[in-house]
Structure 1
Amino acid sequence: MTSTVNTPKVQRLPRWLGNFGVQIVLGLVAGLILGLIARNLSSDDPKAAPNALTATLTIIGSSYVSLLKAAVVPLVFTAVISSIANLRQVANAARLAWNTLLWFAITSLIAVSIGIVLGLVFQPGAGTGQPTPKDYAGKSGDWWAFLTGLFPSNFLGLEASTKASDAGALATSVNFNVLQVLVIAIAIGIAALKVGKAADPFLKLNGSALAVIQKVLWWIIRLAPIGTVGLIGKAVASYGWTTMGALGKFSIAIYVGLALVLFVVYPILIKSHGLSIKQFFSGAWPAIQLGFVSRSSIGTLPLTERVTERNLGVPRAYASFAVPLGATTKMDGCAAIYPAVAAIFVAQFFGIQLDLGQYLLIVLVSVLGSAATAGTTGAVVMLTLTLSTVGLPLAGVGLLLAVDPILDMGRTAINVAGQALVPTIVSRRAGILNEDLYNAARNGNPFADDSTELLAEATAEKNDAGEPGSGRELSSV
């Protein structure tokens, strides 16, 4: 005899609540509401201590930013070494590899220049009247100080500083110079290439370390909705609606820059190499579209590589090197336009004047530091690297994180388009592009055949890779 046990149904939350983007939006709304409440509870006396709600929001926001900052150094170090190690796959095609890197730099230079111009034209952070943070030490140094600062004084790029606390006691703090860490990682990566097989155990260990760090970073990123509550709440409580208006203007400036790169700069480069603009976009569009939806270059990688080979006519042997390398280092959205406009926004927001040397630093860091975008927090890493190098308050990172998911879709779409564009241009210049395949009729389909199967395969590979995908991650990679 069998008995049936009626188990009560577990009331599950609506499925849409599990979407990471929805959680960020909810955190944004909650932060706005709590920030307004905290602002109304604040005393008119500027010397009065902050109320309990404002203090709580401040702690939540600052703690989240501290977690992100703590993960930057190991991510940059391991990601850059892994990116350089990928060059081993094309040991017999050194010329193609260097031409690829050169065009990565050229397109990044164009994109960051557009970002600087837009920042100066739109003035997204101007007029807020906000004071500079109390812990802001001022300009970090001139151009020569930056150049000499590239040379690390120790292996980890550590810098120690001692200053008096509010109580009068001396306190010593230790910080990392992120750009020095980048230089160290580049040197080690190149040395590993030169050593050859003897470096295999080291590179394998580095790859494992990168995977572990990315997992830890993902855990931190999953806390972003909570961090958003604190960051936005603190911003509204301290600055009022002025902050929201400035962030909206900043977002518009970013999307204008992304549109200029995608629909003006890229077509000019395509046409100047004697290729059809229509054929490029019709061929690369499936990957660009998936990148916009998924907000992950790594998640879109299988489809990007497939369209580069089968639609754009890039040889498979070269595409298998250039596209994966581009997925970790070719970031015109995250590593060029975004940090340029963001750095100018932060400076304007806190009333800091930038000089010509600092603008040149923004350009240099954007071109050379794009390798640091590998991982799940590419835009955050580049933003932190740019602000710290130029000498701007890192408080701006927390402020801009609130609107990051809105910008991430457009940034990733530009990243993916550039990752397909550069191999196409290099192949054309090297005379190895299959132009018959490039100019083949699409007939409205992503591929000439089995398009549905390929799209499903790319989506499955994206989801099987882990958390990044399905529109749930915070930042493009």
Structure 2
Amino acid sequence: MSFTLLALSAIFLGFYVVLSRFKKQKKSFNFRVLSALVGGLLFGGIIQVVLGTDSAAGLQFSELISLFGNGYVKLLQMIVIPLVFVAMTASIMNVEGTSALSKIAPKVIGVLIFTVAISAVIGIASIYLFNIDANSLVNAMGTSTAIEARSDSLLSTQELMSNNTFTSLVLSIIPTNIFEMLTGAERTSTLSTVLFGMFLGFSILQVKKRKPEKVQSFVDFINAAKEVVLSMVREILKLTPYGVFALMTKFMMSNDLFALSEMGRFVIASYAAIAAMFIVHLVLVGLFGLSPKTFAKKSWPVLVFGFGSRSSMAAIPLNVETQTQRLGVDEETANMSATFGTSIGQNGCAGIYPAMLAIMAAQVMGIPIDLSFVLQLIAVIAIASFGIAGVGGGATFAAVAVLTIMGLDITIVAILVSIEALIDMARTALNISGSMLSGVLTAKTNGSLNTEQYKAQALSNTTNGEIPA
């Protein structure tokens, strides 16, 4: 083992010690996550400048810290399907009657689809406002081995999608084997789990009306399972600062800074579009007679957590807790909006990003971008937003799906994968904001929103985005 590798490892572990001390000093969870984020970007950037991307010590160190970064991501992926299953089943079965269910679900989905369509429009506009020239970007990046490898991988995914008809895609959401579905092996596993959880929860509701004593033990089991899974999620989330530091360090040291600078304008355009969509969320809150400032202030800790973790699914517990304890949303609506928002109508990953890439791909291919093209693109994005998993990499899949349906080349997706993590943080925060917005607006229109709690200044212990014990 070289001295350089030992030195890098010592510094890396030293920062972990600092993060641990921050926790003992009662520093907020969000402070620790942001510290890890900034520290990782700086540490990785310094390594990249000093050692480059191809040094032996750098490659060995990158492989070593993958154990921490990728291990954290794997833990999040491990808990996704169980969390979605118990959260959806419990949220449906605990609704007071099927009439209440029919008032909640359509509105939640409606808000998500409406906002993802708006986000697509904003994504399209950002390309022109920032004068993004896809041809110049493609020429500047060239056709490196890494880009060609990513293109080949994405082409296989595109080929698989292109062989499916709309009917087969819809049918693929219906699970034929629930045990295989629970493994998360298929790309539609998340939406299939949502669907099965809805059916199971609805069936429990029906039995509760006829023979409540027969189903009570099963209801207790589901509620207990939900508590156990949420406890697992909380334990995993406590590792977030450490996982974020490893992921950001590897991201910066593995990417050429010149290449990142070439895509700087796209990054800025993406963040501007995301910021604009946040403003749209606040405007919608105001249009429904609620304070945008209150919504922003109370949702902020959850958004910061999503920014650091890059997983809207991991944020489900904090999302629900914030909606119910701070925003005055009833538990049924909060559970449903938080869960639906992880796989339907994600404003950032399934709206803004695919829209921007579709326009860029059309530019490269010389396709006229007229009103007909734009309207078709918005409709495709709204439909394709069903089933996009709320974990890292969902935006890439959404982009490939949209470009495939539109008949566009996916090379631009392969080029931009290198900056995926940098943009995905803000996209995830926007996804979470969209799900919380759907919960608040649904509760408001259904008359179930506790407006006094929404207006209250006294904040619960979720103020700092802490992970409950």
Q: Partners of 1:124 and 1:65 in 2: how far apart?
A: 33
Q: How does 1:228-247 map to 2 (within 5 A)?
A: 228-242=244-258, 244-245=260-261
Q: How does 1:301-312 map to 2 (within 5 A)?
A: 301-306=323-328
Question: Does the Cα contact within 8 Å between 2:299 and 2:322 map onto a contact in 1?
Answer: yes
Normalising by structure 2, report the TM-score.
Answer: 0.62
Aligned to 2:93: 85
Q: Partners of 2:91 and 2:427 in 1: how far apart?
A: 25
Aligned to 2:39: 26
Q: Partners of 1:433 and 1:210 in 2: how far apart?
A: 24
Aligned to 2:443: 423
- Is the partner of 1:470 in helix, strand or coil? coil
CA distance change for structure 1 residues 407 and 362 in 2, over 3 Å: closer, same or farther? closer
Aligned to 1:169: none
Q: Partners of 1:92 and 1:175 in 2: how far apart?
A: 32
**Could you report, residue by residue, the CA deviation over 1:49-78 in whole angstroms, capped at 9, with x for unpaired residues?**
984234435565444444443333333333
Question: Does the Cα contact within 8 Å between 2:260 and 2:419 map onto a contact in 1?
Answer: no
- Is the partner of 1:144 in helix, strand or coil? coil
**Displacement of 1:176 after TM fit?**
0.8
Q: Partners of 1:69 and 1:394 in 2: how far apart?
A: 23
Aligned length: 391
Question: Does the Cα contact within 8 Å between 2:83 and 2:230 map onto a contact in 1?
Answer: yes
Question: Does the Cα contact within 8 Å between 2:28 and 2:464 map onto a contact in 1?
Answer: no
**Displacement of 1:292 after TM fit?**
1.5
**Displacement of 1:343 after TM fit?**
4.8
Normalising by structure 1, report the TM-score.
Answer: 0.61
Question: Does the Cα contact within 8 Å between 1:60 and 1:227 map onto a contact in 2?
Answer: yes
Q: How does 1:85-234 map to 2 (within 5 A)?
A: 85-86=93-94, 88-93=95-100, 96-97=103-104, 99-101=106-108, 103-114=110-121, 116-117=123-124, 121=128, 126-127=137-138, 128-129=141-142, 131-133=147-149, 136=153, 138=155, 139=158, 140-142=160-162, 144-145=164-165, 147-152=167-172, 154-156=176-178, 158=180, 176-194=185-203, 195-197=206-208, 200-234=216-250
Aligned to 1:297: 319
**Displacement of 1:293 after TM fit?**
3.5
**Could you report, residue by residue, the CA deviation over 1:140-195 in whole angstroms, capped at 9, with x for unpaired residues?**
32273464144357414859xxxxxxxxxxxxxx9711314522541452244134
Q: Partners of 2:91 and 2:363 in 1: how far apart?
A: 35
Q: How does 1:295-334 map to 2 (within 5 A)?
A: 295=303, 296-306=318-328, 321-330=332-341
Question: Does the Cα contact within 8 Å between 1:73 and 1:178 map onto a contact in 2?
Answer: no
Q: Partners of 2:187 and 2:223 in 1: how far apart?
A: 20
Amino acid at match of 2:49: L
CA distance change for structure 1 residues 248 and 38 in 2, over 3 Å: closer, same or farther? same
Q: Partners of 2:331 and 2:184 in 1: how far apart?
A: 38
Aligned to 2:313: none
Q: Partners of 1:398 and 1:225 in 2: how far apart?
A: 22
Aligned to 2:211: none
**Could you report, residue by residue, the CA deviation over 1:372-423 in whole angstroms, capped at 9, with x for unpaired residues?**
6xxxxx4548548746866888998896445655566565455434432343
Question: Does the Cα contact within 8 Å between 1:61 and 1:228 map onto a contact in 2?
Answer: yes
Structure 1 unmatched runs, 5+: 1-10, 44-48, 160-173, 271-275, 309-318, 373-377, 463-468
Question: Does the Cα contact within 8 Å between 2:68 and 2:243 map onto a contact in 1?
Answer: yes
Aligned to 1:363: 382
How much identity, in percent, do the aligned residues show? 16
Instruction: Indicate whether 1:42 and 2:48 are aligned.
Output: no
Give the one of 294, 319, 324 matched to 1:286. Answer: 294
CA distance change for structure 1 residues 74 and 17 in 2, over 3 Å: closer, same or farther? closer
Question: Does the Cα contact within 8 Å between 1:75 and 1:210 map onto a contact in 2?
Answer: yes
Q: Partners of 2:113 and 2:265 in 1: how far apart?
A: 28
Q: Partners of 2:247 and 2:263 in 1: how far apart?
A: 13
**Displacement of 1:42 after TM fit?**
2.8
Question: Does the Cα contact within 8 Å between 1:61 and 1:230 map onto a contact in 2?
Answer: yes
CA distance change for structure 1 residues 215 and 446 in 2, over 3 Å: closer, same or farther? closer
Q: Partners of 1:224 and 1:255 in 2: how far apart?
A: 23
**Displacement of 1:291 after TM fit?**
0.6
Amino acid at match of 2:111: F
**Could you report, residue by residue, the CA deviation over 1:239-266 in whole angstroms, capped at 9, with x for unpaired residues?**
3114644786565445433444454477
**Displacement of 1:100 after TM fit?**
2.1
Structure 2 unmatched runs, 5+: 1-17, 209-213, 304-317, 368-372, 405-409
Aligned to 2:315: none
Q: Partners of 1:235 and 1:350 in 2: how far apart?
A: 25
CA distance change for structure 1 residues 187 and 63 in 2, over 3 Å: closer, same or farther? closer
Q: Partners of 2:435 and 2:194 in 1: how far apart?
A: 23
**Displacement of 1:137 after TM fit?**
5.2
